[in-house]
Each structure stands twice: as structure tokens, then as C-alpha cells.
Amino acid sequence: MRIPVAAAIFLFVFSFLIDFYIYTDVRRTTSGKRWRVAYLFSAILCWLLLVCIMCMPRRSEDADILPIMWMLYTYLTIYVAKLGYVICSLVGRLIKTVSGSGKAASISRVTGMVAGFVLFASMWWGVIYTRRHIEVIPLEIVSPQIPKPFTGYKIAQISDLHVGTWGSDTTFVSELVDSVNALHPDLIVFTGDIVNRQTKELLPFLKTLSRLKAPDGVMSILGNHDYGDYMDWQNEADREENNRQLAVCQKQIGWDLLNNQRRFIVRDNDSIMVVGVENVGDPPFPTYGDLELALSSSKDSVCHQNDHRFKILLSHNPAHWDETVSHETNFGLTLSGHTHAMQCEINLFGWKWSPAKYRYEQWGGYYERINNQGQTVRLYVNIGAGEVGMPSRLFRAYPEITLITLEHQGS
């Protein structure tokens, strides 16, 4: 399967309109054919690049998606820059029409070239620097449910590694592992999407990821990319074997994979509970998770979803918390990933924005609300450490490690 037809048509039409507009500007503002021919030649090369992207298979078992990702990102950086120029040029033409000043159009073209360069440079800065600049986000959770012996207990959360985007280069993942270990957490949790499409992407990283160490170990869950749903398998048995091998690999590196399961962490005579569910997805992502299986909702059970214990839920998609968990349970803290902040985040003087907000109400950071029983329930969405789709992180969407410290509230 290749790029969907609708997307291909859109990109070709978009490219043609952008290039046609810029070509008319070049014709109007330059003398001689040299610049016109040069621009036409560069545009044709870009269209040929787009044709190559469209023709390359991306879902077959043998397909390598890395060339597609890099080619598509190259195309996008060029046309986002061109779009910046077009917008500035159109504004200049509008001002010229309204005011009659010819200078406005000339200034806007120069501004457009500057804007295009800044956009192009920003997008490649996201490749060169931002996606490698690891950021540690501290978070303190204070609750009377947290037992006193767990005051000061530290949990490091990482998410969405998508190791396949790095091919076989383990450099960044090794730096991430070292950064997590340097925090000396009591527990490490991974909230899903360790690969892009299939388990074999993980093989070069097994030794590196096995170096993650904490006294209470590493607990993990699966994300939507971990089930082999982004490939066309020759048969279902191949997909099932792929998924079985992913579980084997996580066990091999010493991770405790919680597939609709729970674990107790004990300090003195008190305990907290960590519950992990398989992916619970909003459309079009399939649902595999079963919170009822992991922890019963029946109050007749010794352990249930509204018992008095402080419970931490690992659930990949924050929509699960928004739609169900935050209303029907009293999980003290839910940890999610999935959104990546769409690998683009702006943070200015405390004001945060990401295109992910138009898809997910809870797209990154800390959230809380009051549940149906009048209790405070909390969610933290880690924006991930890896990339998928585009091999870049833009502006402030740094790879994230969340360092959570638990504090008992009360006497």
C-alpha cells in the first residue's frame, strides 16, 4: 500500500499552486530567462521527489520506511518555506491594492524570502538539535492517599521511543538511558510505542535498553504502534509472532510488561499499586486494553478501581483517561504518552501551544479533575522521546523524561 490517493492529489495540487504563484513572481521581478528556467528546474525536481515518495511501498513487511520519512520531510521543509514566502507576498499585494504603494510588494517579497529561510532552518534545526536535546520535567504529586513511607518516592517516565526511526544508531537512546539512570529513580515506567511497525526494529537497541535500572525495576505497556497494525502482513500468524517476539524482547531486557495486569510496590507495611493496560484507543486506533481485567470495578473485590490505595495507571492514550478513567475510578495518577505533542510545541512565558490540542484535549503535561465520587484524579501526558512520521521535533517539543516525586499529604 502506498500513500493514499486523496493525500497524493492534495500534495500535487498544493505543490503546483505554490510553484505557479512563485514562478509568476519570478517572471514579474526578474529580467532574462535564467532565473525562470532555474526555478522551473528546481520545481520539477521537487515534483519528481514527490512522485518517488508516492510510488514507494510503506506497509509491506520488507518495506523500509526510513527513506520515505526523510524524503517526505525534505519535501515538506521546502514547501513550508515556499508557503511562508507566498503568504508574505500575498500580504504585500493586498497592501499595494489598498494603499497603492508599490514599495509594499517589494518589501513583502524580501520579507517572504527571510520568512522562508527561517521556516526552512527551523525545521532542520528540529532534526539537528531539538530531537536530540533531552529535557527532564519534574512533577510532584501530593495526595493523602500516598502512604507516608512513599514520601520522596521517585518515578521516571519515558514514552514513545519509536526506535525504528533511528535505524541501527543507538547513540540517542543510549544518552536517554544514561539520563534516566542519572536521576536515580525508584521505579522506571515506559508508556508505550517502543517501535514504529514491527519488533525487528527493536533488536539493535536491546543491549542499550537493558541498561535502564531502578530498585523497583522497569514496568512497561504497549502502544498503538506495538501491535503490528501499521503493516500489511502476509498472514495473521506472522503478526501474532511479531507481537509475541515483542513481549519476549521486553522480558529479555528485564522490563515487566503489564498487559492488563497489576503490581504492588511495598514499603514497610504500606503499598501502592501500578496497573498497566494494553492500548485503549480512540478511532481509528484499535482497543486492546481491558481495565476490568487488570483491576475489577466490583467493590466486592479485595482490590478494585475505587479502593483506598494510591494507584498509578499506565495507559498509552490519554483519551482513555478523559473518556472513562477520570470519571469512573479513583486512580490517583494516570501516566500516558501517544500524542508526541505532534512533535511541535511552542512555549512562551508559560503559554503552551501544540497542533495536538486540536485532536486531544489532554495533549501534554499535567491535568486533574474531580471524579464522580468527588475525588481528585490526575493525568500526566509525556510528549515522548522519539519520532514517527517526520524525523524531527520542532521548537520546544524536546524528548522528555518525566521525574515524578510522590509526597504524602496530611499529618
The reported pLDDT for the residue numbered 107 is 79
Taking alpha carbons only, the member of 333, 348, 352 closest to residue 402 is 333
Same domain for 49 and 198, yes or no, is no
- For residue 32 the three cell numbers come to 532574462
DSSP-derived 3-state class of residue 278: coil
41, pLDDT greater than 60: yes
DSSP-derived 3-state class of residue 142: strand
**Window from 106-110, 191-195, 267-271 with minimum mean pLDDT:** 106-110
14, pLDDT greater than 50: yes
The reported pLDDT for the residue numbered 59 is 67
Same domain for 91 and 167, yes or no, is no
User: Which DSSP state fits 286?
Assistant: P
283, pLDDT greater than 90: no
Residue where the block lists cell 524528548? 399
Residue where the block lists cell 534545526? 125
C-beta of residue 365 within 8 angstroms of C-beta of residue 371:
no
Residue 402 confidence class, pLDDT cut points 50, 70, 90: very high
Residue where the block lists cell 511479531? 242
Same domain for 105 and 150, yes or no, is no
Same domain for 69 and 192, yes or no, is no
User: E-strand spans in 232-385?
Assistant: 255-257, 261-267, 270-276, 311-314, 333-336, 344-348, 351-353, 365-370, 376-381
Same domain for 283 and 396, yes or no, is yes
Same domain for 61 and 143, yes or no, is no
The number of folded domains in the chain is 2
Same domain for 201 and 336, yes or no, is yes
Same domain for 118 and 228, yes or no, is no
CB neighbours of 154 closer than 8 A, spacing ≥ 6? 183, 184, 185, 186, 187, 403, 404, 405, 406
226-257: burial string, b at 16+ Cβ within 10 Å, e else? bbbbbbebeeeeebeebbebbeebbeebebbb
Kindly write down the DSSP assignment for every residue of 79-116, as one continuous string: HHHHHHHHHHHHHHHHHHHHH--HHHHHHHHHHHHHHH
Same domain for 123 and 141, yes or no, is no
The reported pLDDT for the residue numbered 29 is 81
Same domain for 97 and 168, yes or no, is no
The reported pLDDT for the residue numbered 232 is 86
58, pLDDT greater than 90: no
Same domain for 87 and 225, yes or no, is no
246-262: average pLDDT: 97
290-305: average pLDDT: 92
DSSP-derived 3-state class of residue 374: coil
CA distance 195 to 4: 23
Domain region containing 291: 136-408
Q: Which of the listed residues 128, 157, 176 is the one where a domain comes to its end?
A: 128
Residue where the block lists cell 499585494? 93
C-beta of residue 310 within 8 angstroms of C-beta of residue 145:
yes
CA distance 195 to 192: 9
CB neighbours of 14 closer than 8 A, spacing ≥ 6? 79
Query: Could you tell me the CATH number of the domain that includes residue 340?
Result: 3.60.21
Q: Which of the listed residues 128, 144, 171 is the one where a domain comes to its end?
A: 128
pLDDT tens digits, residue range 64-121?
A: 889 989 999 999 999 999 999 999 988 887 877 777 666 766 778 888 899 999 999 9
Q: Which of the listed residues 100, 128, 156 is the one where a domain comes to its end?
A: 128
- For residue 351 the three cell numbers come to 503559554
347-363: average pLDDT: 92
CA distance 26 to 29: 5
Same domain for 189 and 233, yes or no, is yes
pLDDT tens digits, residue range 198-229?
A: 999 999 999 999 999 999 999 999 999 999 99
